[in-house]
Structure 1
Amino acid sequence: MKAFTSPEDEQQAKHYIGLLQAQKFDEIENDIDPSIKLKSTNLDQTLRAMAAQMPAGQPLSVKLVNASFITSNTLHKSKLIYEYQYPDQHVLINIATQKKDGITTIIAFNVKKLSESLESSNSFSMGGKSPLQYAVLALAVIAALFSLYALILCIRTKMRGRKWLWIIFILFGVCSLSVNWATGEWNLQLVSIQLLSASAAAPLYGAWVISVSVPLGAILFVLRRRELAAPAEQSVTSSDS
């Protein structure tokens, strides 16, 4: 992730984090964007509460766990999220800045204590999950295997008409039900297509998301295979029977 992050943005973010650790709140407030100041009634109290969540002393390690940027001709925005590891806890720090007309301001700054590292909390484990999570995982495996079965069956079947249309139809599932493996949150998308009707993905240091779709093309092909098959194959099938 550091390879895609500007050293200037990292230096700026760590500068503000250092000011927070040193409790130099006035210097931070001077660089907070005016739009944020209008929304906040007591910035000093908020900054003191944030500083209180950070243990004294140097962290054991500092990881850049997320980064995003927006750049145009006159504006540059960066959002960096760091994980600070201390002997007895982890701290997540989100700092977002913008540079406009040569002036850098803070547009977001927050601190959150973690009971364990993001890597540990978002790791893939089978224990302690809800029935919905287990069900989505099982259905994803079944849907993927069934789609592969139907795809191989379609490729091996001599058919009337354009076989490649059926192959494309089989390759993609429709709609999708996704579940966050770490939190159990779920999301249903009625307008969606998914390769082989299943997926499992996780961003760097993020939670796994398991998704399953309806293998509609695979189901229809398996049900209609006999009527789609070429006459020669139908005759062979009848003789074998």
Structure 2
Amino acid sequence: MGSVDPERDTQARDVYEHVRLGDFDALRSSMTDAANANTTDEQLQSMREYAALDTPSETRVLSWQWNTTSDLSAYEVVHEYDHQQKVVQFSALMVRQGEGPWLVERVHINHFSPAEAALTAFTLQGKTPLHYGVLALAVLAPLFCLFTAVVAGWRRRWVWMIVSLFGVGQLTLNWATGAAEFHVAQFALLGAGYAKGPGALDPWIILVALPIPALLFWLFRGWRPKKPKAGKVSGADHPTAATPD
């Protein structure tokens, strides 16, 4: 995916600063004619109320998207700003005609409190048995896969050693809401993982795959030593005939 364009990133941050500080003249000078015509001062003031007066303590890029046609380019950047009393998400869509300057076509702003952001934090307090069960499985499944692969390698069962590292199916659990889904046609290395988006409201997602190949290894007694192949008998089992004097 690459990284965000530094110039568009800076421009989007400047747009937020114009909104936050109420510098509407500077904001309008960076907007397209259509955006200026469709945006009233009352709307700009309403957007400013969603922002915060204090300087953000941290800024994150949540996402960016770039599209281009023969004569029009569009670039949208979404930032998240941490303030003392609120967290603000701000998106700016910038467009350019041909080789002209980049101008702001649309902005969108939303905010929420730190308490709302804390609801998606990873914590063990107040969770259901499903949470604890999935978390335990997410810890034990990789260990079981690794242990099985080591035993399979020790017994020189190379196919088992490889397939034991994978889990089949995938259970996903939203740690914040407890919503769970199971997908059959999925494979995962070591049978577990986790994911979280960059935003403060993005929940932790726990992913667990069933270690079925590792279970089958033990069910079919793959841990037992291999039997010697037929026909391979040591010379000691065939005494040589005595040579006559």
Shorter-chain TM-score above 0.5? yes
Aligned residue among 76, 83, 89 for 2:81: 83
Deviation at 1:164, TM superposition (A): 2.6
Q: Which residue of 2 aligns with 1:197?
A: 191
CA positional deviation for 1:155: 1.2
Q: How many residues were matched structurally?
A: 219
Contact residue 143 and residue 198 of structure 1 kept, 8 A? yes
- Alignment-derived partner of residue 19 in structure 1: 18
Unaligned ranges ≥5, structure 2: 229-245
Q: CA deviation at 1:117?
A: 8.0
More helix by percentage: 1
Is 221-230 or 207-216 further displaced after alignment?
221-230
> Which TM-score applies when normalising by structure 1?
0.72
What is the rounded CA distance, in whole Å, between the counterparts of 1:5 and 1:117 in structure 2? Answer: 29
Question: Matched residues in 1 for 2:79 and 2:115: separation?
Answer: 13
Q: 1:89/1:72 Cα in 2 relative to 1: closer, same or farther (>3 Å)? A: closer
8 Å Cα contact 1:93/1:109 also seen in 2? yes
Q: Distance in 1 between matches of 2:106 and 2:115?
A: 22
Q: Identify the match of residue 182 of structure 2 among 166, 188, 195.
A: 188
Aligned partners of 2:187 and 2:112: how far apart in 1?
36
SS in 2 for 1:225: coil
Counterpart of 2:160 in 1: which secondary structure? helix
Post-superposition Cα deviations, 1:93-118, rounded to whole Å, max 9, x if no partner, equal 23343445235354653222222189
1:176 aligns to 2:170 (yes or no) = yes
Higher Rg of the two aligned structures: 2
What is residue 50 of structure 1 aligned with on the other side?
A: 47
Identity of aligned residues (%): 25
Whether the aligned pair in 1 keeps the contact of 2:12 and 2:91 (CA below 8 Å) is: no
Q: Secondary structure at the match of 2:83?
A: strand
Q: Which runs of 5+ in 1 are unaligned?
A: 233-241
CA–CA separation in structure 2 for the residues paired with 1:192 and 1:222: 22
Task: Map 1:15-164; keep pairs closer than 5 Å.
Answer: 15-21=14-20, 22=22, 24=24, 27=28, 30-31=31-32, 44=40, 47-55=44-52, 57-70=53-66, 75=73, 77-86=75-84, 88-101=85-98, 102-106=100-104, 109-116=107-114, 122-158=120-156, 163-164=157-158
